[in-house]
Amino acid sequence: MSEPEFEQARKELVSTLESSSLFQKNPEYRKALEVASVPERIIQFRVVWENDKGECQVNKGYRVQFNSALGPYKGGLRLHPTVNLSILKFLGFEQVFKNALTGLNMGGGKGGADFDPKGKSDNEIRKFCVSFMRELSKHIGKSCTLLHVCHMPLTGHGRYNDEHALVYTNLLGYFLPRCAVASSSQ
């Protein structure tokens, strides 16, 4: 399977590390990078929802859980028509290093769907979000994964982000503080 976005990110990191003295001083890190380049788990699922005309719609949903060595998987949910596994692996891979540099105990992951919120009604977006979170919750269960909800801004205020957190909380049956945070992507 071709994964150009992910392979490019991985090759750039390997190239940078090989041109440094890191691997020369610590050859065992080469194997560690090989291990870190493979996600711990990839979840793919369908998201079935109904539009305002009563028609059944199907989208592809994903969650790439890259690395939990430092803590729970923290990373965004991207909703955009171009989302695919390669893009989410690339973003999840980068998220691992981004989170590690914060000094907080967070792993790295990324998720999303090939759903385009542009041109959709509030009701359609809500229905999609409910279906997406219901399906995702079947796979990640009650263990806390730090979800950071991203999509193309519709209002500039990220008004649908809170809905993801509330839907996920309702599906779990209890509130997990800070398990879902929200922002709009640019």
Q: Which residue has the tokens 């109904």?
A: 50
d(CA 185, CA 45): 23
pTM of the model: 0.79
Specify the DSSP element, H or E, that contains 25: helix 22-25
pLDDT band of residue 11 (cuts 50, 70, 90) is: very high
pLDDT on residue 186:
37
The angle formed by the CA atoms of residues 7, 13 and 19, to the nearest 5 degrees, is 130
For 92-123, what is each residue's pLDDT tens digit?
Answer: 999 999 999 998 899 999 999 999 999 999 89
Domains along the sequence of the chain with CATH: 1-38 (no CATH), 39-182 (3.40.50.10860)
pLDDT on residue 138:
87
Mean pLDDT of all residues in 19-25? 93
| Active-site entry in 31, 53, 98, 110 | 110
Specify the DSSP element, H or E, that contains 59: strand 56-67
Q: Which residue has the tokens 């976005």?
A: 5
pLDDT exceeds cutoff 60 at 69: yes
pLDDT band of residue 50 (cuts 50, 70, 90) is: very high
pLDDT on residue 145:
54
Mean pLDDT for the chain?
82
Q: Please give the share of the chain, as a percent, with pLDDT higher than 90.
A: 59
pLDDT band of residue 40 (cuts 50, 70, 90) is: very high
The verdict on whether 110 is a catalytic residue reads yes
Q: Which residue has the tokens 């790439």?
A: 64
pLDDT band of residue 4 (cuts 50, 70, 90) is: very high
For 134-178, what is each residue's pLDDT tens digit?
Answer: 898 888 866 555 554 444 333 334 444 555 555 555 555 544 444
Token pair listed for 153: 């801004």
